[in-house]
A and B are shown apart, each in its own frame.
Chain A
């Protein structure tokens, strides 16, 4: 099977500290792959390397067969890598609609309007609040906006960084329901989560990251059943 996203031997540093120690991760077209691990394991760093906003010190990132390790972040978005970043990072003072429009910054034409209507259909609350500054939305609504903004770029792979972070349990369930729906609609998703149980439960495959290295990888259900994973990440 041809891999859409192929990461090999990836390393990255913050100054002298090595955050990623040779990561190998693959995501195939249509797959939902989860990356779980504790705080500081390097999950966010890996996603930032894939989007090109964190310098890579070694290894490679391939997307649809093309080496993009040194490509600028904006060109990666154009190729089809969309990310909803950790902490949502909406453009707070700008309206919800402007946030969505900027999500499609690399695109032109009538499709953009149609996609925006699709987002409003998927997230009716965003339609209701489309003229309000994004910063006035609740945490859960901002998370929906961040996901919708990434989808507006019409990505071939959607990178989700901690979409359930800081949300009330009901909202967490809502966000995971949305992710499941996106997967069922055929979107390729690479999901990074501290909420390992929920993430692995809906994932096709999963990776466990520990201090910058992948220590386990298997199909989602098997990882859920793994004793080491249970002990370390699921609190069982």
Chain B
């Protein structure tokens, strides 16, 4: 009984960590531009697909990972430069629609560049399950936890300890004031896309040995990352992480105790619940401003 629960919990935490990274990607771009980037899932797909195909072609794993991360960042930068920036005077809603178009375009491109098949990646440190209190944990899950945790720590350091990170935060708090102190808001927007793409790619790479990947894998991962971001409160980093873990655990428990047919429905139920009952999410804006 408890072993089964623990098993579901491990599986939920693993996917939850990936949703958390995707949710952070949504949050970073949302903060820089108030745009919800629906191509976030495609960054995850590109990270996984690029690594898997390069490794299959004989590239050493670390090299393939580095190249895939770089490729994903390049795609993120190109997306901002060629699709978002030309429309910078358009409504936020228009730009969101552009990101949906971009996600379809990227899926099509992936299908042409690679194929429609599922691709696997060998686990980073073997496939021998670790037994914990009657449940089993795959070593790759530990990689997922570790890498996601490290990514979160590095992000925290970047936004709280570096001048450029603080400048990005400042731009999200007050764009006009950011311009008036000399922060180049275009550069901030570009950096936010590069950073989100990198986060997505990292998540896609570490999770591929567990879930496999194909050109469409980004749709569901992106939407679940989005529901994580919404649940946590759009634009809130801590919220995205907590939201990701909740979505991951909730869907693992639902597929374990109810039916695996409901697995994908959970994320959408959560979105609906949040929109109906607490539109600003768990960690939504609490005003500390005095006027």
Q: A residues touching B (Cβ–Cβ < 8 Å)?
A: 51-53, 72-74, 77-78, 82-83, 85, 89-94, 98, 101-103, 105-106, 133, 135-139, 142, 149-150, 152-153, 166
Contacts and interface: CB of A to CB of B under 8 A. Distances in A.
A139 B291 contact: yes
B174 A73 contact: no
A101 B160 CA distance: 13
Interface stretch (B32-40, B146-154, B164-172): B164-172
B190 to A, nearest CB: 14
Interface stretch (B72-80, B179-187, B206-214, B252-260): B179-187
A172 to B, nearest CB: 16
B182 A77 contact: yes
B176 interface: yes
Contacts of B169: 91, 94
Contacts of B170: 91, 94, 98, 102
Given A89-B176, A91-B174, A94-B173, A105 B289 contact: no
25 contacts: A51-B180, A73-B179, A77-B181, A89-B177, A91-B173, A92-B173, A92-B174, A92-B289, A98-B166, A101-B166, A102-B170, A102-B181, A103-B181, A105-B163, A105-B167, A105-B182, A106-B181, A135-B288, A135-B290, A136-B288, A137-B290, A139-B291, A142-B290, A149-B181, A152-B181
Contact of B290 (A89, A102, A138): A138
A149 to B, nearest CB: 7
Given A92-B289, A135-B288, A139-B290, A102 B166 contact: yes
Most chain A CB within a 10 A radius of its CB, from B173, B180, B181: B180
A63 B166 CA distance: 29
Given A77-B182, A91-B170, 12 more contacts: A53-B179, A77-B180, A77-B181, A85-B180, A92-B289, A101-B163, A102-B166, A133-B288, A135-B289, A139-B290, A149-B181, A153-B181
A53 B180 contact: yes
B179 A93 contact: no
Contacts of A72: 184
Interface string B62-81: 00000000000000000000
Kindly list the 7 A-B residue pairs having the minimum CB-CB distance in the complex, ordered from nearest. A77-B182, A89-B177, A106-B182, A135-B289, A73-B179, A74-B184, A74-B182
A4 to B, nearest CB: 18
Most chain B CB within a 10 A radius of its CB, from A72, A101, A102: A102
A7 to B, nearest CB: 18
Interface residues of B, number: 20
A142 B289 CA distance: 10
A139 B289 CA distance: 10
Main secondary structure, interface of B, reads helix
Interface in B260-291: 288-291
A78 to B, nearest CB: 6
Contacts of A149: 181
Contact of A51 (B179, B184, B290, B291): B179
A53 B179 CA distance: 7
Contacts of B289: 92, 135
B176 A78 contact: no
Interface string B98-131: 0000000000000000000000000000000000
Contact of A105 (B173, B174, B181, B290): B181
Most chain A CB within a 10 A radius of its CB, from B178, B179, B184: B179
Most chain A CB within a 10 A radius of its CB, from B174, B178, B182: B182
Contact of A93 (B163, B173, B178, B184): B173
Given A91-B174, A94-B173, A102 B183 contact: yes
Nearest to B285: A93
B69 to A, nearest CB: 28
A41 to B, nearest CB: 20
Nearest to A52: B179
B89 to A, nearest CB: 10
A139 B180 CA distance: 20
B291 to A, nearest CB: 7
Contacts of B182: 73-74, 77-78, 105-106, 153
A152 B180 CA distance: 12
Contacts of A53: 176, 179-180
A90 B170 CA distance: 9
Contacts of B181: 77, 102-103, 105-106, 149-150, 152-153
B286 to A, nearest CB: 10
Contacts of A142: 290
A106 B166 CA distance: 13
A74 B179 contact: yes
Contacts of B291: 139, 166
